[in-house]
Structure 1
Amino acid sequence: MQEDCENLGGSVATIRSKKESEIVKKFLNKVSFRDWEQPGSDVWLAGSDKGSEGNWYWDTNGQREKISDGFNDWRKGEPNNGGRYSTGEDCMSIAYGDRKWNDIDCSEEKFVMCEIPNTQDVNPITG
């Protein structure tokens, strides 16, 4: 999934504030394509606790950043490292129904949300 986003000039999306979360949810509520509107059709985010169970961080382009204790949008009861996987759940997605964070097995096939920086030059108008 990271490679897919890198090929587009970006990285897997992170959500670092309530404002960003609201923007992402609004976008996802507008998206309409086959299979997205099915239960289990989560969207990957860059969150992970691989190698450090319970310590969640954003993993973008090889950089690790601890997820702020001040903002999170976990589903009730999540992260639980549970579910149907004996290997645990070390990756983060936005869950289909409520658009909240969920920890899931990293090998699942999901949609991925990429964050692509705006590289357009902006020239201020002076007068």
Structure 2
Amino acid sequence: MDCNQLGGSLATIRSQDESDAVKNFLDQVSFSHNDWGQPGSDVWLAGSDEDTEGNWYWETNGQQEPIPDDGFVDWRTGEPNDAGYAGEHCMALSSGDWKWNDIRCMSRKFVLCEIPDSNAITG
């Protein structure tokens, strides 16, 4: 199951209020171990710098919107760092503090979806 199948897209976080709401939600969900038996579970967001290293943008529904350096950002200390042999061009919330981390795009993570009210699942 992915966000598109639910009528939405990976989540974006564009303000401190949105960040606080997401962190509050994730703190209420059990993430003590992921499905692969490892402690903690990072969560995918819609951020990427795959086109140009260091130029981060939100990608939703095929559209790119730059994440301005002088706008809201919530990177972990020392991030983004593009560590690793394959580069880190996707964004996830890191379990524990729920701050942004650049990671390899092929990593297995949970997803956080934004679904418009018109597509919301009820019942």
With normalisation by structure 1, the TM-score equals 0.85
- Computing the radius of gyration from Cα coordinates, the structure with the larger value is 1
List runs of 5+ in structure 2 lacking aligned partners. none
Judging changes above 3 Å, is the alpha-carbon distance between structure 1 residues 8 and 97 closer, same or farther for their aligned structure 2 residues? same
Give the distance between the partners of 1:9 and 1:116, measured in 2 at CA: 6
Judging changes above 3 Å, is the alpha-carbon distance between structure 1 residues 40 and 50 closer, same or farther for their aligned structure 2 residues? farther
Q: What residue is the counterpart of 1:70 in the other structure?
A: 71
Give the letter aligned to residue 80 of structure 2: P
Instruction: Report the alpha carbon displacement of residue 35 of structure 1 after superposing the two structures with TM.
Output: 2.5
2:107 matches 1:108: yes
List runs of 5+ in structure 1 lacking aligned partners. 121-127
Contact 2:32 2:41 in 1 (8 A): no
RMSD, matched Cα: 1.9
Instruction: Report the alpha carbon displacement of residue 32 of structure 1 after superposing the two structures with TM.
Output: 1.7
Contact 1:39 1:96 in 2 (8 A): no
1:56-110 C-alpha deviation (Å, 9 max, x unpaired): 000111100001331000000000001xx21100000000011100000000000
With normalisation by structure 2, the TM-score equals 0.87
Contact 1:38 1:96 in 2 (8 A): no
Give the distance between the partners of 1:9 and 1:42, measured in 2 at CA: 22
Give the letter aligned to residue 66 of structure 1: P
Judging changes above 3 Å, is the alpha-carbon distance between structure 1 residues 34 and 75 closer, same or farther for their aligned structure 2 residues? closer
Q: Report the count of equivalent residues.
A: 116
Give the letter aligned to residue 82 of structure 2: N
Contact 2:31 2:41 in 1 (8 A): no
Judging changes above 3 Å, is the alpha-carbon distance between structure 1 residues 39 and 33 closer, same or farther for their aligned structure 2 residues? closer
Contact 1:81 1:90 in 2 (8 A): yes
Runs of 4+ in 1 over 6 A off after TM superposition: none
SS in 2 for 1:44: strand
Judging changes above 3 Å, is the alpha-carbon distance between structure 1 residues 33 and 80 closer, same or farther for their aligned structure 2 residues? closer
